Structure 1
Amino acid sequence: MSKTIQMPALSPTMEEGTLAKWLVKEGDTVSSGDLLAEIETDKATMEFEAVDEGVVARILVSEGTEGVKVGTVIAIIAEEGEDAAAVAAGNASAPKPEAAPKADPVPASAEAAVPTAAPKAETVPAKAASSDGRVKASPLARRLAEAKGIDLGAVTGSGPSGRVVKADLEGAAPAAKASAPAPAAAAAGASVPMAVAAQDFGIPHEVIKLNGMRKTIARRLTESKQQVPHIYLTVDVQLDRLLKLRGELNAGLASRNVKLSVNDLLIKALGVALIQVPECNVQFAGDQMLQFKRADISVAVSIPGGLITPIVIGADGKGVAAISTEMKDLATRAKDGKLKPEEYQGGTASLSNMGMFGIKQFEAVINPPQGMIMAIGAGEKRPFVIDDSLQIATVMSATGSFDHRAIDGADGARLMQVFKELVENPIGMLA
């Protein structure tokens, strides 16, 4: 009897993916463990193995198809001795009705709904106001009306179905009480995609389709800023001793082909600091909090198309050479899209370093459900008071973003203080 191959869930949170590439073709014989396809999730590209053996009778979802829902039938395998051609021609018809809507190459997303919004609105009678009393107008007309103080409700629209357009506002007099509808107009204008606004103004532009990673980043960071009350704490940290120690360690590690970066040492410092201030190694979980006994540091890595945070597990207890070797491997595989889900999902806190771009100081957005993220700026020569005298020192600014639901300001300040002390006296974190 033929067997169906379904779109797998390659991570606990995966709901859909892109069938990037088929590694087999119709008519190929496969055995358990053979690679069937490459699946792109929102974070990585992973290989999908066969569980059963047989002949690939039919491929139902072509490679390159995006938005394939988990559980969608993507192929049919004929068992040994079964006529693969007959399965493809006849028996394969059973799963097709189920697979067709799921394998729709157009993702069922908010973006897909944007182009259909206007045609739906055109089905109402040609009046300036819709059934809910809201005036129909183009985004440009709304902005111009707000700027000129024109009451859109008093303007006769010449656009489709009575829609008010720019030309209708020419010669229209400002309303005496134009302030009332202004908030609604402003709110409506604020929700207009930037590409639409550019098109209205005739500005040359191109529409860039969001990939799965960018959609996930947009959704998660929006949720973070809307739902997580951030508190930001900044300290200036002297780096001279850390840089000196790094040079000495690299000299000793040269024979092992290990070269420490400043970031490797900062990962270690944050891991140790979180163990020393356990009140910050936490996650908010509704009516309870989770306090962790190990510091797993998610490190922000920029990759084509977005950002990913591979995790250094147990950074507090690892040597800096081990952290360095592990980070190089994780970063390389992250850029190749080859990380396993468990290598970038989880973590108890995050570290984001933009010092290599010359950024002096910034405030990072917390990566939920984590409770904090450390933002690292560039180390630079600055006037600095040392032993009551003004000297020149290498200094960086570090800013901690904390979830104020779980972490009090005083506890966040203690973590920043401990982190500063560890970086300025780095021998302490290696003991």
Structure 2
Amino acid sequence: MTVALPDTVFGSIDSGNTAWVIMSAALVLLMTPALAFFYGGLTRAKSVLNMMMMSFGALGVVTIVYILWGFSMSFGNTLTGTGDIGGIFSNPFALFGSDQLMQTKEVGGVTHVVVWGTTGIPAIVFLAFQLTFAVITVALISGAIAERVKFSTWLLFSGLFATIVYFPLAHMVWGGGILSGSEDGIAAMMFGSTDGAANVAPIDFAGGTVVHINAGMAGLVLALIVGKRKGFGKTAFRPHNIPFVMLGAALLWFGWFGFNAGSELGADATAGLVWVNTSVATAAAMIGWLAVEWFRDGRPTSVGAASGVVAGLVAITPACAALTPIGSIALGLVAGALAAVAISLKYKFGFDDSLDVVGVHLVAGLWGTVGIGLLAKDSGVLYGHDFRQLAVQTVVALTALAFTAVLTAIIAFALKPLGWRVDDEAEFVGIDASEHAESAYETA
């Protein structure tokens, strides 16, 4: 049952902020097709279409469920004033279908719309922006289970994961829930006073926990439950189209400016700082990754450069408004090096994270989230502040890890009777043919 909106949520539009967020939403939406190219190029030729379709499938499913109940679960309490459920999620039916966001009121002869806080941005525009975050988070997970999963099961998982994991985590971090800076949030719990904890509120500007730790942990859980590709550890699973990988990385970098700078919800100086920090951290991470490759393998690679770009983008996402440009360079260098080292863990521990979702998104996402406690200009240890920001960031990261791990495992096991894996013959011949009756390249 939908809930009536209070008069306080109606206001006038700030056209500049609104235009910026609409453009940012379009940039973030581009990131999911960009991811399809990035992941598609990394797979074998017989699997590229399925890999790309997993991103497009997530785009279809998550878009619909976000409009129906996802926005309500994530942010509905902010507009309705009805509170949430245990600080974990809002009522999914309070804004079901999102039609209420288009209500208007006449105030002194001027038409007011439903706006998001004090930004002057229509709530429907904020919904559009947040929808794109939900979509790419689910799409990111697909890289961990490439070349072996039924498309039908993936589509079901996409809707369930978004509903059970992503929407609650988005509310917990951004919607005033228990991992936010609210008076009932984690900092107040840890330090006992909302006044004393005010300057150590958790920082996740654009999705280190909600997007990257979440997707990376989910990818690890699915890789363990779904199992390895046939021949893992014995067969070389080489990227079939490295230009696709480079193109995907370039488009991700481009779209990420909407992801990060758009999260300011305004065209202002902070958005400019975020843009600069995103650029320099990403460049530094690429150099950090290539340095590890050069030292370890004797050659810098194109795939390494592209992967380093993504690792830097991941790491700076939660931290982009809290760091200086110099701090962002340091964060990026470490992120690229850490991720380059981490991708080999799957061979050491024997799990098949096909396209290094764990090594890039989980590791770089953890470093970016926790690194805020060291490098944040106003609260980081390396800037002479106490340990509280570092403690809060660490607790939030670990909480997100546990939350995602448990719930993803429940979803994955619940879907097992439907079957996760294609059969052995289909995997050998190629999942494109078995799942889609198509091939990417005609050789005849």
Query: Which band: TM-score by shorter chain?
Result: under 0.3
Structure with max Cα Rg: 1
Name the TM-score, length of structure 2 as normaliser.
0.24
Q: Give the TM-score of the pair, scaled to structure 1.
A: 0.24
Greater share of strand: 1
